[in-house]
């Protein structure tokens, strides 16, 4: 029974992650409810989240067609950023990112609410931005997908569904690097990872079909509104 419930949690997480860029709002509280300590829940969740990108990559083949060189370069940047963030986490207190996270998430969400414009980031600035967001994701991570979506939307002259597909795949970089570290040094609960990861592969596969069918700019707006809600929650938790 627990295996099935965790698999369903994984499906829901994969869908939420690939559609509105907010993965852990589903899976992390569920793992705490299953009795996992916060640290074990965090590392177990990160390991499982890596598999969301696999399902998304398969389902997003129409949006990713012809973008392999760009995706690989961005994937490299997110992997390097994730490694940097993980290293910083070992050397500095997480309070630093806790204080700035609400501002970062709110700013990215407001950026998404702006009317679409031609690409504003190019070349090195794009990769620097992606690298910086991946550092944040590897270090703290809350709503990192929303911030990454905003960076890519400002850089790529593509539809929201195409931008979202790229974002979902390159997220494997930062999550994957962190997952390797957690597998080697963290208290990963493999009995939880297996059903959760299986569900996330399915959810990651379903998500792009939903995102592809959302009309107009609704995907961008939906992600922005969800991001603002998370920013408010983070601000209340951090500043009060």
Q: What is the C-alpha to C-alpha distance for residues 194 and 20, in angstroms, rounded to an integer?
A: 24
| Global pTM value | 0.83
Q: How far apart are CA 131 and CA 10, in angstroms?
A: 27
Cα–Cα distance between 167 and 47 in angstroms, integer? 18
- For 99, 180, 183, 193, 230, the CA distances from 31, given in Å and listed in that order, are 25, 20, 17, 10, 19
What would the mean pLDDT of 14-28 be, rounded to a whole number? 84
Domain ranges of the chain: 2-239
Contact 76, 225 (CB under 8 A): no
Instruction: Report the share of the chain in percent with pLDDT over 90.
Output: 30
Q: How high is the pLDDT of residue 162?
A: 92
Q: Which pLDDT tens digit goes with each residue over 189-217?
A: 999 999 999 999 999 999 999 988 888 78
Which pLDDT value is given to residue 3? Answer: 92
- Whether the per-residue pLDDT at 98 is higher than 80: the answer is no
What is the per-residue pLDDT across 144-187, written as a single tens digit (0 to 9) for each? 888 899 899 888 888 888 999 999 999 888 888 878 887 887 78
Name the band, by pLDDT with cuts 50, 70 and 90, for residue 93: low
Q: Which two tokens stand for residue 32?
A: 């705490």
């Amino acid at each position: 029974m627990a295996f099935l419930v965790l698999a369903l949690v994984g499906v829901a997480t994969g869908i939420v992650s690939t559609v509105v860029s907010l993965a852990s709002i589903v899976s992390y509280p569920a793992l705490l409810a299953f009795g996992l300590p916060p640290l074990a829940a965090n590392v177990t969740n990160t390991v499982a989240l890596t598999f969301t990108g696999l399902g998304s990559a398969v389902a997003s083949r129409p949006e990713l067609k012809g973008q392999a060189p760009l995706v690989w370069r961005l994937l490299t940047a997110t992997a390097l950023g994730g490694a940097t963030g993980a290293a910083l986490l070992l050397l500095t207190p997480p309070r630093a990112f806790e204080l700035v996270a609400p501002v970062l998430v709110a700013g990215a969400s407001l950026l998404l609410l702006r009317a679409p414009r031609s690409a504003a980031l190019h070349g090195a600035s794009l990769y620097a931005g992606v690298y910086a967001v991946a550092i944040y994701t590897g270090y703290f991570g809350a709503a990192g997908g929303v911030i990454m979506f905003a960076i890519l939307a400002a850089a790529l002259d593509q539809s929201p569904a195409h931008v979202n597909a790229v974002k979902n795949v390159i997220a494997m970089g930062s999550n994957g690097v962190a997952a390797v570290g957690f597998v080697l040094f963290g208290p990963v609960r493999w009995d939880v990872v297996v059903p959760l990861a299986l569900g996330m592969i399915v959810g990651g596969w379903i998500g792009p079909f939903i995102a592809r069918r959302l009309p107009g700019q609704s995907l961008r707006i939906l992600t922005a509104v969800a991001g603002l809600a998370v920013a408010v929650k983070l601000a209340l938790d951090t500043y009060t």
